[in-house]
Amino acid sequence: MMALHSRHKIILVVAAFTTLRGVYSQEDDGLPQFLEQVPNITVTVGRDALLSCTVEKLKNFKVAWVQVDTQTILTIHKQVITRNPRISLLHDDHRSWHLQLKNVQESDRGWYMCQVNTDPMRSRQGFVDVVVPPDIIDKETSGDQTVREGQDVTLTCRAKGHPEPTIVWRREDNAEIVLENDNRVPSLRGIGGAGAGSSGSSKSQSQGSALQVEGDTLVLKKVNRLQMGSYLCIASNGIPPSISKRANLKVQFPPVAWVPQQLEGAYIGQELTIECHTEAYPKSINYWTNTKGDMIVADSRYTPIVAEQSYMVYMKLRIHSVQKDDFGHFRCIAKNSLGETDGSIKIYDRQIYCPPDPLLLLYYKAIIIWQIIGRPKTANINLYKTVNLQDQLETEIFINEWRSTRVNILCDFQALTLSLLTC
126 & 6 share domain: yes
In this structure, what DSSP letter does residue 353 have?
B
Q: CA 134 to CA 121: how far, in whole Å?
A: 41
Domain boundary among 114, 132, 150: 132
pLDDT digits (tens, 9 = 90+) for 197-211: 433 333 444 568 899
Q: Residue 264 is part of a domain; what is its CATH number?
A: 2.60.40.10
Domain boundary among 314, 329, 349: 349
27 & 57 share domain: yes
Q: Is the dihedral of CA 256, 261, 262, 266 positive or negative?
A: negative
86 & 115 share domain: yes
238 & 193 share domain: yes
CB 302 within 8 A of CB 319: yes
pLDDT band of residue 93 (cuts 50, 70, 90) is: confident
Q: Residue 333 CB: number of other CB atoms within 10 A?
A: 20
CB 122 within 8 A of CB 102: no
Q: Give the pLDDT score at 207.
A: 60
pLDDT above 80 for 398: no
Which residues lie closer than 8 Å to 4 by C-beta, 6 or more apart? none
182 & 218 share domain: yes
pLDDT averaged over the chain?
Answer: 79
| CA nearest neighbour of 408 among 366, 368, 361 | 361
pLDDT above 70 for 298: yes
410 & 290 share domain: no
DSSP for 97-125 reads: EEEEE-S--GGG-EEEEEEE--SS-EEEE
* 246 three-class SS: strand
Domain count along the chain: 4
| CA nearest neighbour of 238 among 132, 158, 138, 159 | 132
Partnered with residue 341 across adjacent β-strands are 334
124 & 149 share domain: no
Q: CA 121 to CA 62: how far, in whole Å?
A: 11
In this structure, what DSSP letter does residue 294 have?
P
Three-state SS string over 62-85 comes to CEEEEECCCCEEEEECCEECCCCC
Q: CA 69 to CA 128: how far, in whole Å?
A: 11
192 & 237 share domain: yes
Query: H helices of 176-280, where?
Result: 188-192
CB 248 within 8 A of CB 228: no
The three-point CA angle 260-264-265 to 5° equals: 160
Q: CA 186 to CA 94: how far, in whole Å?
A: 79
- How many CA atoms lie within 13 Å of 111's alpha carbon, on the beta-carbon side? 10
| CA nearest neighbour of 347 among 420, 403, 272, 294 | 272
pLDDT above 70 for 289: yes
Domain boundary among 293, 327, 349: 349
Average pLDDT rounded to a whole number, residues 209-225: 95
11 & 120 share domain: yes
Q: CA 364 to CA 386: how far, in whole Å?
A: 9
Q: CA 389 to CA 384: how far, in whole Å?
A: 8
Q: Is the dihedral of CA 217, 222, 224, 226 positive or negative?
A: negative
Dihedral, 370, 375, 380, 382 alpha carbons, nearest 10: -30
pLDDT above 70 for 103: yes
Partnered with residue 33 across adjacent β-strands are 56
314 & 382 share domain: no
Q: Give the pLDDT score at 189.
A: 53
Q: Give the pLDDT score at 182.
A: 72
pLDDT band of residue 184 (cuts 50, 70, 90) is: low
* 419 three-class SS: helix
pLDDT digits (tens, 9 = 90+) for 312-361: 999 999 999 999 999 999 999 999 999 999 999 999 998 754 444 444 43
pLDDT band of residue 183 (cuts 50, 70, 90) is: low
Strand arrangement, sheet containing 263-266: 263-266, 339-349, 328-336, 285-289
Q: Residue 373 CB: number of other CB atoms within 10 A?
A: 6
Q: CA 374 to CA 383: how far, in whole Å?
A: 25
CB 112 within 8 A of CB 41: no
pLDDT above 70 for 105: yes
DSSP for 272-315 reads: EEEEEEEEEESPPEEEEE-TTSPBP--SSSEEEEEEEETTEEEE
| CA nearest neighbour of 398 among 272, 266, 273 | 266
pLDDT band of residue 186 (cuts 50, 70, 90) is: low
* 384 three-class SS: coil
8 & 128 share domain: yes
Question: Cis (ω within 30 of 0) for the bond into 85?
Answer: no
Residues found in the chain: 423
What is the domain extent for residue 17? Answer: 2-132
111 & 207 share domain: no
Q: CA 13 to CA 169: how far, in whole Å?
A: 54
